[in-house]
Structure 1
Amino acid sequence: MWDILSVSHGHVRYGVMSRLPNVQFRITSKTTGESHVVCTDDNGMIDTSAGFNSHKNDTNGGTAESGIWFGEMDAIDDEKGALIYDFYYLNELRGESNEGLKLAKDIEFRVYRDKAVINLGTVTDDVVSIGTTAKDSDTENHISLADNKVTIIDTVKYKNFTPGKAYRLVGILMDKETGEPVMVGGKPVTSEKEFTVGDEDGTVDVTFTFDGSSLSGTDVVVFEKAYDIEADTQITSHEDINDEGQRVSIPKIGTKAAAADGKTNEIKPEKDQKIVDTVAYENLIAGEEYELTTWLTKDGKKIWGTEVTKKFTAKEAEGTVTAELTFDASMHGGEDITVFEEVSLL
C-alpha cells in the first residue's frame, strides 16, 4: 500500500535551466489532510524512497537528509514506500533558494499501486519580476518641481504573478547621489499598495506624495519590493539606483536679473525698458528640450504682458540660459520689480 515519489526541481533564466537545491515542498493527503515537508538535495532532487533517505532518519524533519513517512509512526518500514494509497497535493514553500520565482502550487498526483515510482519529472519555476517607471503626476514626465506638494506615480510592471493571489508593493524614494533614502521632515518617503492579481502579467501604480520644497537639485530614484501577503514573504524587488526609468529629477534654478547693459540692476522709469534674466540651472536631463518661462512681479503680483517663453536644449545637467524681457516701466518709478522663472520639460 505504499509508493515512491520522485521529483526534480529547477528554473529557467535567460534560456538556461538551473537546478534548485534546498527548496521545501509540502505533500498533503487529499483525504486525511496529513502533510509533511520534503526538501530538494544539492542536485535539486526529491526522492521519498528509503534508498534515498531512510524513512527512519529524522522522520518528517523537512531537510534534504530527512526521511518521510505517512501513516502510523510505529509502522515505519524501509522496505516500503513512504506514501499510502491516496490522492496528494504537492506545494512549493517560499525560501531563500526560490526567492524571485513563482512557486509551484497544487500539483496533484495519486498513489494507487504498491512499490511503484511516481515520477513527476521536472517542476519548473518561472522567474517572478517587477520593473518600474516613475513620473511626476503634474508634469507627466521625469521632472518634478520643488513644490510643497509633489506627487510621483510609480507604474510597476509585474510578470509571472499568481492570478487571484494578493500582493503588497512597498516603495521608498532614494537619493541617487548618496544612495540613501530621501528624508523629508526627518522621515523616509515611502508608499505601499496592496492588490489582487487578475492576469499573471500586468501593471499597478504606487503613489508617493511629499513636500519637495527642500529637494531642489535632487535626483530621486524609486525602489520597490513585492511581498506575498499570505506567506508574508518578499518575492522579488527592483532596486537599481542607475535605472533611468525609476528616476525623477527635481531641478534647481538660480537667477540674476540685470539691465540691458549688464552692469546694474536698475532701470529707468521709461517705456521699452529691457531686463536680461540669466538663469543658472542644475539637475536637468542632458539632451532634453525645456521651456523657460519668465515674468515680472510687483509685491508678489504678476505684471501682465511681461511673460516671455524660450525653448532650449540642456547640453549638460548644469548650465545657463538667458531671457530678455521688455516692458513699460514708466508707471513703476521707485518700485522694486522681481523676476520669476519656471522651467518645464517639453
Structure 2
Amino acid sequence: MQHKWLKATLFIGAVALGLVGGQLHQVSATADTDVPESMAFSRGAFAANTDGAGYMMVRHADGSLNYMISDSFKDSLGNYAYCLDSERPTPVGQTESKGSIGSDAQYRLFKYGFNNHSATDQEYWDIEGLTDQEAWYATQTVSWILAGNFNWNQIVWQASQPGDFADGIYAPYGEAAVKRVRAAATKVYNNVMNNHDTANTTMTLADQGETEVQGYHKFTYTVQSNQTGTATLNFKNIVDGMKVVDAKGNAIANNTVTIGQAFSLLIPNSTPTGDLTFDINGNIKAIVPVVYKDAAQKYQDSISLVTGVVKPLLAGNKAKWTRATGLIKVHKVDQNGQALTGIEFTLEDNLGNKQTALTDKDGDAQFTIVVDRTYSLKETKTLTGYTGSFQKDGITLANDGQVFSYTVVNAEDVAVHTTATSDGKKSVDANKQMIIDDVVHATGLIVGKTYTVKGQLYDKATGKALIVNGKPVTAETTFVAKASVQDVTVHFAFDGSDLGGHDVVVFEDLYLGDKKVASHADLNDKEQTVHVTTPTTPETPTTPVTPVTPSTPSTPAPKPTVYQAKMPQTGDAHDNVLAVLGVALVALVSGFSGFKIYKKRQA
C-alpha cells in the first residue's frame, strides 16, 4: 500500500461574527490516534544481510568497526517498515504489538525517505544510478540514528574489500555504490533534522459569517484540517426548529460534516435572543509512525507508517444571535394637539398574543415587537367626552431596530350649554323692549377656528318658535376659539309686551363653517328658560264722600220729667260751629283712608 502524502498545512481559523470559542486545535498523535493494535511483518525485496554486504561501518567506543547489515521487511499493510535495533534479528514472520506513536522525526523519515520516494524519483534524489535497495538502506541508516543506535559522526563510509573478513565473504558493491548510499542517507538525514513537519493533526473551525435567509439566522462554518475526514457536531442545547444543512441547503444526517466542506446552522429568527453551544468531535484520517514491539525482546522493534484515525475536539463553540426587535410608538393628542393621558391601546400579533399600554402624561405609549410576527394595533379605551378611534393592521418588522410611529387624535366632544337671563334675572315683566342674554358654554373647540352660535326663542307652552310681529326671534354671535372651552353671549332684543305669563326658552346651535357641530334645545331646561310676568295696574283711590248736613230734628215726644237734655237747635250759633268741625273731620278721615288703599294696591 503506497501512502498518499499530504503537505501538513496549519489552518488559522477565522473567529468572526456569531462564533465564540472558535479555536485552532492541534492534536497529539500519541494520545488521540486509533491505529492497528498489532502488526505482522513479512520479508521485503532488499537485503544487506552478511558481513561485508553493508555500505558503511560504525566505529564503536573501543575503536572497533562493524558493518551494519539488515534485511528489508514489510508490514501487513504492504508498506516497508524499518528496524530500530541493529543488534537483533528482523521481525520477518513475527507479529508485534502496538507500542507508542513515533516521533515527528520518524514521521519525516517516512516522508523524505524510501518508499515515499523510490530511486526513480530523481527530481527528489538527484543521485545518478541510485537503486531502490540503496535508497532503502540509506533510509534504514537514518532510522538507526533516530532510534539511538549510533550517531551520524560514528559512520565510516567504506566499501568492503576482499580479505576484510576471515571467511573472505564480501559484497562487491564498490566505492560508487557507497557514495550513492552516503548521498541518499545525507539527503534523508538533513531533511529529517532540518524540517518541522509533524505527525500531529490540526483542526480548526472557520466562521464564514451570519446572514438572514427566509426566516432564519444562518451561521456558516467550515471545519478545516491538514488531513481528511469528518467531524460530528455535538450540541449542548437544542433550539426548536433549528437545522444543520450543507452548502446546497440539504439536511446533514447525524450532524456529521465533511472536513473542508461548508455547513450552516439555521436558527428560526423567531427564536428569542440566545446562543447555541456545540462541540466538534473530529474523526480524521492521519498518517502517523507507530512503533511495534516484540514482547519477548528477541526480535527488532520496528516502526511502520500507518493511516490512523485522529479524534481532535473543538469544545465550547457558540453561535449567538439577537432576535430582531422594533418599537411601535403611539402619541395621543386632542384636537388641539394637547397630550391625552390614560388612553388604552392593545397590540395583538397573529398568534393571538396581546399587550396593552396606557398613554402617559405626555400622551405616549409604546410596544416592543419582534420579527416574524404580524401585528394589529387598536385603541381599546377612549376618555369620556372624546370621540374618535384608531386601528392599524398588518404591522410587520422588517429590520432590527425599526420604529413605527403613530399620532392619534381624539377630538373632545363638542357641546354647548346655555344660561338665559334678562337683566341678570330669570323672571321679567312683559315689556316692549325686552332683552334676553344667553351665555353659551362651548366645549371641544379647536383653537383658532371660527365658530358661529345661532339662537332662536321658543314658547314653552306651545313648543313652537316664538313669533313676534310675524317673525321668529333669532340672534347669532361669531367668534374665534381661544381655548377648547369658551363662553360667548348671544343677545336677543324684541317686543315682549304680549308675553306676560309665558316661559321663553332659548335654543342654540353651534356651527363650524357651514357644519352644525353641537346643539342645545331642551324645552324643559330651566337654565335656558326666562319667565315673563304680566305687570299689575295700580287701583284708582276712592273719592271721599261729602258729609250730609243733618236735617232739623222733629219735636221730641214728651219725656218723663225726671230729666230732659237740651238738644241744639238750628241757628244756634254755638251748635253751628260744632257741625262744621264734625263734617271736616269726616272728610279728613275718608281721604286718608282712600290714600292708604291706593298705596297698598300700588305696592
| Shared fold per TM-score greater than 0.5 | no
Structure number with the bigger relative contact order (C-alpha 8 A, sep ≥ 6) is 1
Q: Normalized against structure 1, the TM-score is what?
A: 0.43
More strand, by proportion: 1
More helix, by proportion: 2
Structure having the higher Rg: 2
